[in-house]
Chains A and B, each alone.
Chain A
């Protein structure tokens, strides 16, 4: 008998065959030419535009929208990509509701911002489907730079460095480039293998030698890299995860949400991916929402996110929380896990309600249990594998200015480095700015 949503345990194929394609289709449909024209017409071409100020990569948003409005989407794409080479991915994954669109004057005036993200996608898709790389490399400088980590930060740095005429070797521990664009972002945000298509397109600039399966600390030695290259950029993200510190955490089917998502992103056939009937996700950020929603879309019967503080404190924006609840995910706030119960595999999780007192968050005596065949931990990623000798600031690599670490000739950016939100767009900005600083330092 085929599996259904009510089949107990963690099993694949809970849904009828056709449902997967439908569930994992583009979350936000692309604009067609008419829709883009109408959307672009709403922009007021503000002076010193708040949207541009809010964009971590400072894309000249009114200019690119005007270029769309005047029928030149490729010029619009160049405006975007000259600031943000991953403008295509950012158009899909940026939480625009808390960035550019939040501050759009039309959000203030009418509660309906200009659809900046979708317009950005319209422009970048137009250019990228033609397959051309709009940037050319400057004359060779003879300088060589190692970029470690091929996520948004590393890709952005590598592209900018190559464009400025440097030779780049781009290393990554994983089998594919893209970082969390490839292994982390929710599948319905970047359909049709967009992450790899974007990497391939980006590498067309030339001068970037991408070497996968090279892990710093294993295949790659930090000191040798520093010797062999004129500069090193680290964009290694946050490869570790926080522990739950709840009793029974080691039971089977208690997993890191990021691993589950990576597996999902790499699955060639989603109907073969097992998912629990009752899924519990612990955490309150984007990762929690993505793990929960995608579990639901895979056919879990019920999915609950449990977060220890109140909704306002969640890393996930109101928009993302609505996205979760609209997909049938239940969100419980103000509760923390105390025990994972079950015989070998998880069967239930016991939570205690929390209370905020003078000494911070504390557990109350009031508890409840949720049935769970599968538990995803999404309580934050941590820096892992950063080379010895680098000073840290809190739990990240300490940097000053445009990503200068405490070691000469070593820069860092993206999630692994101090400062900024952990977002794709922030990583792109930091990678780009570090590249400019490396260029300035190398060219004297």
Chain B
């Protein structure tokens, strides 16, 4: 059993799996049960300033996208920050932290963009004994209309300013949560770093409409015949989140800034991917909301087995894939592969054929008895067939050795060479 103990911006937790700020962390009852189930830490549901709390809609809050087997792939919500009074949350945070000193407890905050508002709330949070704060600049709905959340998160100057206020007014580590609803995630990340953030966490939810009611003609979730855009999360957003995490991890200005990875993490494998792309720990919301707190056990056993199998320690995994994230023009154009179909594993559905014949390169032949084979002289190695095949591992990509001739192009596989020096590249020619 690998050691999963994690330290993120000085905050220790028995494992790198935290629950993200959301309904699972909105009250003491939930958080205690989450810790009992094995979660390493939580980011408490976002608190607002003192006074009457925000109110939520009283109709449905969620829209959803499903895959086969009605597996929940994407969830969207129109919920706001906590709708419970500040003092109740603070009292509960203190009680939980006292009883679970070994778990990470970070408090998410969203108050108006004025220094006094932040100065007022920070000491109250500090007093609970919480380990850190997360600034919620991400919430895409409701709060933005009130000049908070992603309204701030979309303006780098505001991020920098608020981060600085917080750093000046508290000794707690400050994590800045980023919204994906921007064109380039590097700007807000850089701003957070300039403001002195100890870390960034991402992603928050993505502006979305999941579906439209075709009888009532309104987006769902529908409230009295109307709907509004919500925040999208769950497995569907993982690729977007991974890219943003990788961008921050490899960008020279932001490299080294600790990252808490969030977005669609459902299994140990998803978590390991975020870690490999530079996240120091991960946060989970939708998976817990779909399957319950118990999934953390699978994340723990899975990550532990993986690290053991790789003979790797947890810190050794963090960022391990970052050096291999590059720009397209540096990819090796002399890396030549061909699809190959394992005839024993093939169930003869013909999906590879349809995909290649109808929409790609006509590189798969259909023979007598539904035998599907790859035509090496047509295969461009796009791997669409691999992705549409229902049997994992049935179609694989085989690399041509150096010196071999690619039957499609007639050229001999040579040493590493990329687009920057390719004869067809006008820029490359111009440089000559």
Contacts and interface: CB of A to CB of B under 8 A. Distances in A.
A351 to B, nearest CB: 50
A35 to B, nearest CB: 10
Interface stretch (A64-72, A315-323, A356-364): A64-72
B305 interface: yes
Interface in A41-55: 41-42, 45, 47
Contacts of B302: 67, 70-72, 75
A41 B391 CA distance: 13
A130 to B, nearest CB: 12
B69 A41 contact: yes
Contact of A72 (B268, B294, B345): B268
Contact of A63 (B268, B297, B306, B392): B297
A42 B295 contact: no
A34 B298 contact: no
Given A37-B392, A45-B291, A67 B269 contact: no
B70 to A, nearest CB: 9
B205 to A, nearest CB: 23
Contacts of B268: 70, 72
A70 B297 contact: no
Report the contact-size class of chain A (Cβ under 8 Å from the partner): 10 to 19
Interface string A252-287: 000000000000000000000000000000000000
Contacts of A71: 269, 302
Interface string B61-77: 00000000100000000
Contact of B301 (A33, A42, A69, A75): A75
Interface in B288-317: 291-292, 294-295, 297-298, 301-302, 304-306
Interface majority SS (helix, strand, loop, mixed), chain A: helix
A33 B393 CA distance: 10
A74 B392 contact: no
A243 to B, nearest CB: 51
A42 B305 CA distance: 24
Contacts of B208: none
B128 interface: no
A121 interface: no
B367 to A, nearest CB: 23
B69 A72 contact: no
A377 interface: no
B267 interface: yes
A271 B391 CA distance: 41
Contacts of A62: 294
B397 to A, nearest CB: 19
Nearest to A70: B267
Interface in B58-96: 69
A170 B185 CA distance: 65
A75 B292 CA distance: 19
Contacts of B297: 63
Contacts of B269: 70-71
A63 B294 CA distance: 8
Contacts of B393: 33-34
A18 B295 CA distance: 48
Interface string B329-359: 0000000000000000100000000000000
Contacts of B295: 45, 66
A79 to B, nearest CB: 8
A118 interface: no
B345 to A, nearest CB: 7
Contact of B392 (A34, A42, A45, A70): A34
A63 B297 CA distance: 8
Nearest to A74: B305
Contacts of B298: 63, 66-67, 70, 72, 75
A107 to B, nearest CB: 16
Given A34-B391, A45-B291, A72-B268, A67 B69 contact: no
A75 B392 CA distance: 21
Contacts of A66: 267, 295, 298
Contacts of B306: 72
A439 interface: no
Contacts of A41: 69
Interface in A70-85: 70-72, 74-75, 78-79
B301 A78 contact: yes
Nearest to B292: A47
A255 B384 CA distance: 64
A62 B291 CA distance: 10
Contacts of B345: 34
Contacts of B292: 45, 47
A126 B298 CA distance: 17
B118 to A, nearest CB: 40
A131 to B, nearest CB: 16
Contacts of B392: 33-34, 37
A70 B301 CA distance: 11
Nearest to B71: A41
Interface in B386-401: 391-394
Residue of A63, A66, A67, A74 with most chain B CB atoms under a 10 A cut-off: A66
Contacts of A42: 69
Nearest to B304: A75
Interface string A148-175: 0000000000000000000000000000
B226 to A, nearest CB: 33
Contacts of A67: 298, 301-302
Nearest to B267: A70
A62 B302 CA distance: 15
Nearest to A62: B294
A23 B295 CA distance: 42
A75 B394 CA distance: 25
Nearest to B391: A34
A126 to B, nearest CB: 12
A210 B153 CA distance: 68
A37 B345 CA distance: 14
Nearest to A73: B305
Nearest to B394: A34
What 4 A-B pairs have minimum CB-CB distances, sorted nearest first? A75-B301, A70-B267, A72-B302, A66-B298
12 contacts: A33-B392, A34-B393, A37-B392, A41-B69, A45-B294, A63-B294, A66-B267, A69-B267, A70-B268, A70-B302, A72-B298, A74-B305
Interface of A: 33-34, 37, 41-42, 45, 47, 62-63, 66-67, 69-72, 74-75, 78-79
Interface of B: 69, 267-269, 291-292, 294-295, 297-298, 301-302, 304-306, 345, 391-394
Given A45-B291, A63-B298, A75-B305, 6 more contacts: A34-B392, A62-B294, A63-B297, A66-B267, A67-B301, A72-B302
